[in-house]
Structure 1
Amino acid sequence: MFPKVTLRFYVTVLCSGYFGILYVFHGHLQQEIQSDKADTAWVKWKNTIYKINYKNSYNFTRTKILSKIDDFTQEMRGPVAHQQSMLKDDVVITASHPSSDSTCYLPPNSVTRTFQFMEKGGIYIYSAYLDERLPDKRFIRVMTLMMSAQKSQKTVSFFCHFKENLEQHNASIYELCENHGKEYGGYMVSCVVPEHVTDICQISVSADIFSKDSSVKLESTRAITLDVTQINTKHAKYNYGVCVPPLFGKPRKEQLIEFIEMHKLLGVSHFIFYNFNIKDEISKKVLDYYSERKEATVVPWSLPSVMWGDQIWYHGQLSVHNDCMYRAMSMMKHLAIIDIDEFIVPHKENGTWTNSFDSLFKTSTNTCALSFDSAFFEPVISNKIASNLITMGSLTRSQQFSRVRTKVIVQPAKVFETGIHHVSKPLNEEMKVIKVNTSEAFMHHYRTCVPNYGMKCSNTVEDKTMLWHFKKLKDNVYNVLKEITIDSVEL
């Protein structure tokens, strides 16, 4: 006689069978996963789809962008890497393995940068700098050219993508101060670097484009990847340096050599030239000579074709000023951004920038720049003084000083944005600019006097200050001409 089957017995049998089947199936599943580690790695780095968030749009109708670079939302954006393809309102991201090698930063003297077009919106990205000068935050500063606020019918939101943690963050945009109402202008895109992000050797930037009159998104750009230059002010080995904004056309070889050799006598150790379509082959040879001697860095500056002519102010001059300043932060303690007909000259015998200006910078730790008035020197090439040496032959200047056509020597580490004739924005509000008295030094501008901005050109005076340097300059220019096998002028 069989024992009576109770409900408890029935439930126990069913549960035992269920867990037995589950154990066998789970063990088989684990065996498959363990035997296919390659698939696991692929799953880990598989493409991720995320939704774009449209906060923090930049409105092109604003004439001035917020100057507080750190005033924007820090929001995690989901997994991101440096390659994107568009699929309606979604962005498909292909991840790449990050590099942990800190030596992968692009050196400040690199000459490999070029403009990259973001395909839509008239946006061109040039360079990226890791800015760690503020104690509480790190920033990526991206130099950008795009359609100016007054001309565009669109608004833009920018995003920065960090490789290591596959994250996207809102970016802020700052309009440079002297775009002069042209169709295209210079801008600086800034991103706060999250504290946990350690690999910043590359940064990717993308943008969403919106209609000016609505919040409707028109299009998304592809992400542009840039090699990052780390700003390290402690590594600045030159005391004084000079940057020359877009150099173009056919500058005279003697003028280039005189500019460099005269500034070397004044205490300048290194020069950065931005070469915008120099056509004279001998002038190129002069720049190559100084580049080979490590006395000059020659940066190609090739504007996008849509910006040639009157579409942008003076060949993108202001963007060059600021790219050069950020580049120079790791190279030079003090920097002047001047043209090749401009010389900031101490007016004391044997005066140099070092023995004249070092003490002025040290008057206060908050000094970020020295500002110099200018005087026009009527350019003369005279055989009575020295053939083709314009600083030696031009000894008559305007009696009146221009307080509009000023130039500055900055401490790059203490400046956020530089203008053409002034410091546009110090790094901190407490920073100040010292105005240098014309009895101590001023800028010699070797060009015909321009009677605007209240400038009176009729009254002139004789000024022989530069003759203090005559013999050394004459010999140095002659030696350079001889070394580079160019027929020398009569000196």
Structure 2
Amino acid sequence: MSKLTREYKMHSGKRLAFVQTVLLVILLSLIVHFTLSQLRESQSNYVPYIFRIKEKYVDLEPSQGSISVEYEAEATAETSTHPMLNLNPTLDDWIGGKIKGYRIFAFSAFLDIRNASAPYIRVLGAAPTNYEPFVSDILCDVFQEDGQPLKTVPSEIRIQMPSNGASNCSFFFECDLSSISRSVWQTAYWVSLKSSRPPDQNNTSLPKLRVHHLALPNPADSDGTFVACIKPFFGLWNSPFALVEFIEMYKILGVSHFVFYDTSIGTDARRVLNYYAAKGLVTLFRWTLPYDRRDILHNAHHTCINDCKMRVINRFEFLVTVDVDEFLLPTNGMTTLYALIQEIHKKEQANNRNPSLIGAYTFLNKFFFKEFGKVTKDDGEGGKTEEKLRNSLSTQAYVQRSPSFFEYRRRSKYIARPNATDFLTVHHTANFSQGYRDYVVPSHLGLSQHYRLCAWRGIKICLMQKPLIDTNAWTWASLLVPAVKEACLLLDLNNINVCPFI
């Protein structure tokens, strides 16, 4: 064999070894990526790319509240502090347009002037997951009430990537108004998104969205008040009795208003919501999301939660974000959420920490799986209507829970201060205004009690641990049972076999 042939074979062998190494690295990377993807899918609150923190929020000091003192003195006369302003469900619905070849959708828009030196309009919507690299030149057309253009301004984008690999996700466009004088942006009434490229069949503008203005702070109206924001239901959800229990329990806990989003609600559940809406306790928004359920994570729930948060800023001091089978309950003998928060503040002050800087109160999750079975309470009067009713309520009958806690930010739920937060996710607050922080509620003070079936991919591993008896929810039985009974009678739910024992 010639020297040239030997060198050629040696060189070819090195090249082959190099190629094999590269292929092995690629294969290992794919295995790791697939494993992580499976892990992420199993954690409903996994956030692979959290909302970006923006510099324009850094000079919002906690002592200023949620709006600059300077603007508060010069606010326009039409700005109201009435709690229901911005909660008109007829003003907003999903609209769509095609920008740079992609279909994007928007639901609502808000003028945020909490930092008066950097005002902006936040547009809340949804777009394809791979859309972000193409939005560097998205512009915002701002209009006054009569449709006359005010200004075209640049925008920035925030995105909540889905954990389930869905092809669409929640998007948030922020139209920068810092180059516009106050006298101009105060009159902003409509906003539309467009590309800086010339319009064509693949590049049109988004239809105009109504711009909501935040209310002025009025502590006399909002201090100590609670609103609950509930994300869209799945499927044709129709559990009216569970809905009555949910609303009546949170009313006892101190919530004075409930905001729901209507994707697909059954006839009987809608009847319950209409009943409470007539009493001024519920606002129901249309949520006609233009995606199949498989195409976007949980009906764009991150868009929904942040839409609700923007609407209630300066109208309620506290925002509760839960599902209808979740109850944030004090465990220390307190009977209202406000009493619990006051107790937390006392403990913070005793430890030389400023409680006014708490932006959210996060409750760890405990599952009360229904497969564990009911533990009915019989006081010797089991034949009474009230006793039958009590043993039909999830919070009163299902008192066996899993012994282990989920870690912080996993399955947890929270109470947020809307004025102190920037972006919310389902299980925790993503971003706070500067200076504010999260407070993890210790289990001896409060828990998120979650009543549901154990069903993760058909494997009931959640039932392998021996349950513990936890009767904490019985604390509210004497108030909850008569409240639910009254609602059942007024709604005439016994005639549709919902409250047959009434």
TM over 0.5: yes
CA distance in 2, matches of 1:330, 1:341: 27
Contact (CA 8 Å) 1:246, 1:273: kept in 2 or not? yes
Q: 1:268 and 1:111, CA in 2 relative to 1: closer, same or farther beyond 3 A? A: same
The yes-or-no answer on 1:231 pairing with 2:214 is yes
The yes-or-no answer on 1:340 pairing with 2:351 is no
Corresponding letter in the other structure for 1:390: S
CA distance in 1, matches of 2:181, 2:157: 21
Instruction: Give, in angstroms, the shift of residue 341 of structure 1.
Output: 0.6
Question: Over residues 419-454 of structure 1, what are the superposed CA-to-partner deviations in whole Å (9 max), with x where a residue is unaligned?
Answer: 1111111122x22101110011011010235689x9
Corresponding letter in the other structure for 2:367: F
Instruction: Give, in angstroms, the shift of residue 157 of structure 1.
Output: 2.4
The Cα RMSD (Å) is 3.1
The yes-or-no answer on 1:281 pairing with 2:267 is yes
CA distance in 1, matches of 2:118, 2:79: 22
Corresponding letter in the other structure for 1:111: P
Residue equivalent to 1:96: none
CA distance in 1, matches of 2:213, 2:298: 28
Instruction: Give, in angstroms, the shift of residue 463 of structure 1.
Output: 0.7
Query: TM-score scaled to structure 2, two decimals?
Result: 0.71
Q: 1:471 aligns with which of 471, 478, 485?
A: 478
Q: 1:156 and 1:143, CA in 2 relative to 1: closer, same or farther beyond 3 A? A: same
Residue equivalent to 1:262: 249
Instruction: Give, in angstroms, the shift of residue 455 of structure 1.
Output: 7.1
Q: 1:376 and 1:104, CA in 2 relative to 1: closer, same or farther beyond 3 A? A: closer
Question: Over residues 383-432 of structure 1, what are the superposed CA-to-partner deviations in whole Å (9 max), with x where a residue is unaligned?
Answer: 6562421111001111111122111110011111111111111122x221
Q: Percent identity?
A: 22
Residue equivalent to 2:107: 126
Contact (CA 8 Å) 1:347, 1:439: kept in 2 or not? yes
CA distance in 1, matches of 2:140, 2:133: 23
Q: 1:233 and 1:435, CA in 2 relative to 1: closer, same or farther beyond 3 A? A: farther
Greater share of strand: 1
Q: The residue matched to 2:109 in structure 1 has which SS?
A: strand
Equivalent residues in 2 for 1:55-454, closer than 5 Å? 66-68=52-54, 70=56, 102=78, 107-112=85-90, 113-120=92-99, 121-149=102-130, 154-155=134-135, 157-164=137-144, 166-176=150-160, 178=162, 180-193=164-177, 194-196=180-182, 197-208=184-195, 219-232=202-215, 234-235=217-218, 237=222, 239-248=225-234, 249-278=236-265, 280-304=266-290, 307-360=291-344, 363-379=354-370, 380=373, 384=377, 386-403=390-407, 404-428=410-434, 430-449=435-454
Contact (CA 8 Å) 2:420, 2:432: kept in 1 or not? yes
Contact (CA 8 Å) 2:125, 2:171: kept in 1 or not? yes
Q: The residue matched to 1:111 in structure 2 has which SS?
A: coil
Instruction: Give, in angstroms, the shift of residue 265 of structure 1.
Output: 1.1
Greater share of helix: 2
Q: Which has the higher contact order (CA 8 A, sep 6+)?
A: 2
Contact (CA 8 Å) 1:377, 1:449: kept in 2 or not? no
Equivalenced residues, count: 392
Instruction: Give, in angstroms, the shift of residue 153 of structure 1.
Output: 8.1
CA distance in 2, matches of 1:209, 1:145: 20
CA distance in 1, matches of 2:79, 2:362: 37
Q: 1:457 and 1:369, CA in 2 relative to 1: closer, same or farther beyond 3 A? A: farther
Deviates more, 1:259-268 or 1:456-465: 456-465
Question: Over residues 269-290 of structure 1, what are the superposed CA-to-partner deviations in whole Å (9 max), with x where a residue is unaligned?
Answer: 1111111111x21111100011
* Structure 1: tracts of 5 or more residues without a match: 1-61, 72-99
Q: 1:370 and 1:154, CA in 2 relative to 1: closer, same or farther beyond 3 A? A: same
* Structure 2: tracts of 5 or more residues without a match: 1-47, 58-75, 347-353, 378-386
CA distance in 2, matches of 1:187, 1:479: 42
Q: 1:200 and 1:459, CA in 2 relative to 1: closer, same or farther beyond 3 A? A: farther
Deviates more, 1:440-449 or 1:231-240: 231-240
Q: 1:223 and 1:342, CA in 2 relative to 1: closer, same or farther beyond 3 A? A: closer
Question: Over residues 21-56 of structure 1, what are the superposed CA-to-partner deviations in whole Å (9 max), with x where a residue is unaligned?
Answer: xxxxxxxxxxxxxxxxxxxxxxxxxxxxxxxxxxxx
CA distance in 1, matches of 2:195, 2:88: 30
CA distance in 2, matches of 1:181, 1:367: 33
